[in-house]
Structure 1
Amino acid sequence: MKISSPYQLRTLPAGLLLLLPLLLSESQNVVYAVPQTVAIEIPVPAKDALLRPLDKNLVSWSIQNRDLPIFARSKLLENLFKALSTNIATGQSVRLGGGESDKTTYGSDITITAKKFQSGYYGAQAQGNVTLGPNYFASFKEKYAPDTRYIWCLNLINTTNKFEAAISTAAGVLEYLGDELDLFEIGNEADFYGSKGYRDSEWDASMMLPEWNYIADEVIKNSPNKTVRFMAGGFANPAFQVTKDFDIPGIISAGFQSSRITWYSMHIYPQSGCSGAVTIAPLLEHNTISETLSNYIPQVAAAESVGAQFTIGETNTVSCVGRPGISDTFAAALWLVDYVLFAATIGIRRLYFHATTTGSYSPVIPIKYTLNSENYTAGVLPLSYGAYFVSEILSFNDTLLVTQIEGGNDTDYSSYSIWDENNKLRKIVFINLESYNSSTGGTNTAVPDTEVYSSKEARPSTQVTVATPWEAGQELSLIRLQGPGSNSKSMVNVSGFTLSEKDGLVTSNLVDTIIKVQENGDVVFDLLASEAVLIQYYSDVLANKHPTKSGSKAANSTVSGVVMRTRGANMSISPRLVLSVRLAVSCVLLSALLLFV
């Protein structure tokens, strides 16, 4: 639905306390407006309704194998992984793949030190090779959150000595990653091999099959327990632009079907940064997301027809390391939430977001670097907060199922209902993709500056009323993915939750706004332009672990009738903290209200 109507002024709601730093910075220029009320009903789904399961690793990561040691030089990625994994109660899934995969060789006698790998040494650059040895694995092992799992992409381009590069690399991976390895891929974006001259111009899936099978057979033969599993596909062209038979139905027909292939994948970037113009607008259009991803429904069906799962094995906002002013903005965080949830509704189990050490589409920048004679710092980018918000959606002890809310999706607005296996509504997600730009948070020292601009009109807000099957009086938690504006590069948070720009540790704990289900089952809340909201049982929040600032305690406060509960390492509410937090919040609220006098 398009959110638009005549504006109506209103006073600052207590629910916006978490945006007070933004209010203080924008001073009296901030005026909020209320469009027409939106009303949506969420009926209990029929028992035969198709609700898709939410994979705990719905948001996953794709990193060039050469880059992981450099990420390991700082704690930023490790601590982001820990925060995400605490919520989802399982380790992160990392695909070590990309263009460098088909340039990689391995030797057990290579003596390059772990520290040198972390320094950015990639081997014989003149020949375009990435040369790995045992210390490569030592450079990053045990430096990430517990239970991190890996997918390794093997070199299919190099045919020398019967694919020795791929087979020797697999042996090293099996020896040093061991049980941390989930899957092997063979070849990266092999649908381009013919056009790029790596294979004959007639190259197709039937020609690829014997090479792929030979490598897979040798890898299994050399593995300790013979239980190696594979992900097939990994094609560059999107589902609506397939060349020859390089998609999932095509390779299955060509013979890529066996018990050792448990996943199939394709790659997609909504916009190409390698050439041509790109804009921020497509990130804020739900219809664009749904139309693009709906092309993958036949790919999902093909994978499931042979008992496997389908994933987007490499993706992000803009290809070729992203684009400043687009990939490093709050719009990218909002896009990620809508993108992965819609993908899940059509059966895409995981999406692997590609990252490089200095790319503007990365969740964090792990090192200081120089670009075009300008110096940049390490830091956290907004995409991290989109991923964190999704981890809050996924936090639950049992299986969750997702579907779109009928009538709650249009160009600049989307919504999802989350259910358990007993058809009980557990969570509601609303995403307002309506663009709102702000000069606040317009820069981030980790990425290049781009044009800073603000919307001329007031920031729109809508009051949403949702008819639910929930019992009246039930306590609910409401949290927000929020920022100054869709174009902001900093000051992004999830209801106050933030990560340190230095090491990724929690610097500010999340604050749940407590609301209650009304007598008729309605749930009512405000939703700003360029903002996402998650609503769930507060009892479920208490039942799950969440990342918090070290040594912190939970706190409770009530301001203007709105209950705010700050999470802490100890989730029991401290009476002493209740008073101190109530006084502190009241003082800040009074200061903010003075801005409007």
Structure 2
Amino acid sequence: MKEILLLLLSLSTAGAVPSTVDIEITVPAKDTLLRSLDRNLVSWSIQNRDLPIFARSKLLENLFKALSTNIAIGQSVRLGGGESDKTTYGSDISITAKKYQSGYYGAQAQGNVTLGPNYFASFKDKYAPDTRYIWCLNLINTTNNFEAAISTAAGVLEYLGDELDLFEIGNEADFYGSKGFRDSNWDASMMLPEWNYIADEIQRLAPEKTIKFMAGGFANPAYIVTKDFDIPGIIAAGFQSSRIPWYSMHLYPQSGCSGAVTIAPLLEHNTLSDILSNYIPQVAAAESVGAQFAIGETNTVSCVGRPGISDTFAAALWLVDYVLFAATIGVRRVYFHATTKGSYSPVIPINYSLESGNYSAGVLPLSYGAYFVSEILSFNDTLLVTQIEGGNDTDYSSYSIWDEKKRLRKIVFLNLQSYNSSTGGTNPATPNTEVYSSAEVRPSTRVTVATPWEPGQELSLIRLQGPGSNSKSLVNVSSFTLSEKDGSVTSNLVDTIIIVQENGSISFDLLASEAVLVQHYSEVLANRHPTKSGSKAANSTMDGVVMRTRGADMSFACRHDLSNKIIISVILATIILLIS
């Protein structure tokens, strides 16, 4: 059973002396900068032509429902990417909704995306309630005074209505000059009149509404800015008004379009923090004009990701560290890009074929990283985040979560030490890559935290866990799993209960390549949860460890079994370690 697996994994290093991390969390001083956590901290970027195909299955819809239940708000989806600057729209286009779901966009497409009214019918109302959209418009096509952008905006306004939050105008316009879409001297001051013209025309389409925009969307990261294509640059050029409440830039830490990429940087906190720290001036520029900053398109590796990197458990851990650190420097949202066949996607919605073989729809580890973050964000009031002093290094990172009265609510600790396993080394949704295991026993770290919490309080401890950082399957959040068929919840989450000690301290063990969230158990019960029913399940105790299954219909005895192969391998490993 999964609970047995969880406990055995915890015991698997009993024969070794664990490394230790001792940290202290003090109530923040008045001048301590605590950044608020946006409920849509984890958001999504999807090519506009791909959303109908995602709608063919329930995978993305059910993932969205699970996430939205926790955060008590709909998902934010940016419909944008390279296809945005190839898109045209016609109210008389008669392509059926079903054809859009098949990937058909008109015989005349020739690399372009031609949309009609049934495009919106192909996905509308198929996702979790209150899903909100950002639509990226075609800035490259200047024909008939940007008819492509303006006509598309008219369709979006008609069919998405109040589900639309923002428009973007142009995708990665800092590349236009180098790619021949504009003159080589193209800069933000040349972009401004075109951008303003389109924005003004869109506002005329809906005079009864105040149309809002996200400006920026540049491809180059903050440390390789070209000309004035960053947030300080475009604000100086004149991109500043009440209709621009958001600015964004894109970030892919590794390029999969060419060159070598590796899994290692995903598990290096210092590498991640060094990259993201370059965005501090971008955040400051946005905030200086009363706006907010988002990383508007991102993922592990560009050009649809890379199997063996983007589809691994390391990517799930990376997502958690990424968004939490980004939040500490003021980044409000991080939009993870997804395509229907990309190994960096949270789910693969369809069966598909590549030269390397045939693959099936399914769930990838990134989904579990997103779900773990939704548990962090689950609360009834505003949450604030900061890094824990002394709790960050190359192999680990930690964050404390507070409320507005500066009461400690949650602790997140990530053990980013690499550990590779052959268990869960494949996933039928993505191509196979080399399966390899670390030679040593999986290391464990004993974490002791001095907290301001009152002694005797019950705390919930849940883990983002998998067999190894390179594993592509068997990932879960304390037994919580999603169906590979439709994304529905197949196994309920199990809280491990720990007690605050007399001196206010808590201790827990954390395996290499694992993350933990600690919070008050009473607050877990107060918040909505995808699997929670009207009453809580009874305690289950094994070797002194108390676990409580969320959802009264799921008792400890009737949990889903793992395959015998996995259970046997874990038991054997545990016996060997206990004897040694």
Matched, 1:85 2:68: yes
CA contact (8 A) 1:231 1:265 kept: yes
Question: In the alignment, which of 464, 479, 483 is matched to residue 462 of structure 2?
Answer: 479
CA contact (8 A) 1:512 1:566 kept: yes
Deviations 1:157-208 (A, max 9, x none): 0000100000000000000000000000000000000000000111000000
- Structure 1 residue 125, shift from structure 2 partner: 5.8
Q: 1:505 to 1:22 in 2, by over 3 A?
A: farther
- Mapped to 1, the partners of 2:14 and 2:105 lie a distance apart of 53
Deviations 1:269-325 (A, max 9, x none): 000000000000000000000000000000000000000000000000000000000
- Mapped to 1, the partners of 2:410 and 2:205 lie a distance apart of 46
Matched, 1:162 2:149: no
CA contact (8 A) 2:13 2:444 kept: no
Question: In the alignment, which of 381, 385, 400 is matched to residue 402 of structure 1?
Answer: 385
If the length of structure 1 is used for normalisation, what is the TM-score? Answer: 0.92
What residue number does 1:48 align with?
A: 31
What residue number does 1:345 align with?
A: 328
- Structure 1 residue 223, shift from structure 2 partner: 1.2
CA contact (8 A) 2:308 2:470 kept: yes
* Partner amino acid, structure 1, of 2:347: V
- Structure 1 residue 123, shift from structure 2 partner: 2.8
Q: 1:463 to 1:22 in 2, by over 3 A?
A: closer
Q: 1:460 to 1:488 in 2, by over 3 A?
A: same
- Mapped to 2, the partners of 1:206 and 1:416 lie a distance apart of 40
Matched, 1:273 2:256: yes
Question: In the alignment, which of 4, 16, 19 is matched to residue 6 of structure 2?
Answer: 19
Q: 1:336 to 1:276 in 2, by over 3 A?
A: same
Question: In the alignment, which of 307, 323, 326 is matched to residue 309 of structure 2?
Answer: 326
What residue number does 1:146 align with?
A: 129
CA contact (8 A) 1:481 1:493 kept: yes
CA contact (8 A) 2:425 2:473 kept: yes
> What does residue range 284-363 of structure 1 map to in structure 2 within 5 Å?
284-363=267-346
- Mapped to 2, the partners of 1:466 and 1:68 lie a distance apart of 44
SS of 1:564's partner is strand
SS of 1:558's partner is strand
- Structure 1 residue 513, shift from structure 2 partner: 0.1
What residue number does 2:485 align with?
A: 502
**Alignment gaps of 5+ in structure 1:** 1-13
If the length of structure 2 is used for normalisation, what is the TM-score? Answer: 0.95
Of the structure 1 ranges 121-130 and 231-240, higher mean CA displacement relative to structure 2 is found in 121-130
Matched, 1:567 2:550: yes
What residue number does 2:206 align with?
A: 223
Q: 1:322 to 1:32 in 2, by over 3 A?
A: farther
* Partner amino acid, structure 2, of 1:40: I
SS of 2:467's partner is coil
SS of 2:397's partner is strand
What residue number does 2:219 align with?
A: 236
Aligned residue-pair number: 571
- Mapped to 2, the partners of 1:202 and 1:83 lie a distance apart of 47
Q: 1:19 to 1:292 in 2, by over 3 A?
A: same
SS of 1:145's partner is coil
Q: 1:433 to 1:94 in 2, by over 3 A?
A: same
- Structure 1 residue 128, shift from structure 2 partner: 2.0
What residue number does 2:509 align with?
A: 526
- Structure 1 residue 21, shift from structure 2 partner: 8.4
Q: 1:125 to 1:34 in 2, by over 3 A?
A: farther
- Mapped to 2, the partners of 1:549 and 1:273 lie a distance apart of 40
Matched, 1:262 2:245: yes
Question: In the alignment, which of 499, 515, 525 is matched to residue 516 of structure 1?
Answer: 499
Deviations 1:384-407 (A, max 9, x none): 000000000000000000000000
SS of 2:285's partner is helix
- Mapped to 1, the partners of 2:404 and 2:108 lie a distance apart of 52
What residue number does 2:119 align with?
A: 136
- Mapped to 1, the partners of 2:141 and 2:106 lie a distance apart of 16
* Partner amino acid, structure 2, of 1:563: V
Question: In the alignment, which of 413, 438, 442 is matched to residue 455 of structure 1?
Answer: 438
* Partner amino acid, structure 1, of 2:433: T
Q: Identity over the aligned pairs, expressed in percent?
A: 84
* Partner amino acid, structure 1, of 2:405: N
* Partner amino acid, structure 1, of 2:125: E
- Mapped to 2, the partners of 1:216 and 1:88 lie a distance apart of 32
* Partner amino acid, structure 1, of 2:423: T
Matched, 1:548 2:531: yes
**Alignment gaps of 5+ in structure 2:** none
> What does residue range 95-110 of structure 1 map to in structure 2 within 5 Å?
95-110=78-93
Q: 1:447 to 1:476 in 2, by over 3 A?
A: same
Of the structure 1 ranges 551-560 and 368-377, higher mean CA displacement relative to structure 2 is found in 551-560
Deviations 1:309-361 (A, max 9, x none): 00000000000000000000000000000000000000000000000000000
Of the structure 1 ranges 115-124 and 441-450, higher mean CA displacement relative to structure 2 is found in 115-124
Q: 1:514 to 1:125 in 2, by over 3 A?
A: farther
Deviations 1:528-587 (A, max 9, x none): 1000000000001000011118999634212222210000167xxx9xx57x579x99xx
- Structure 1 residue 15, shift from structure 2 partner: 12
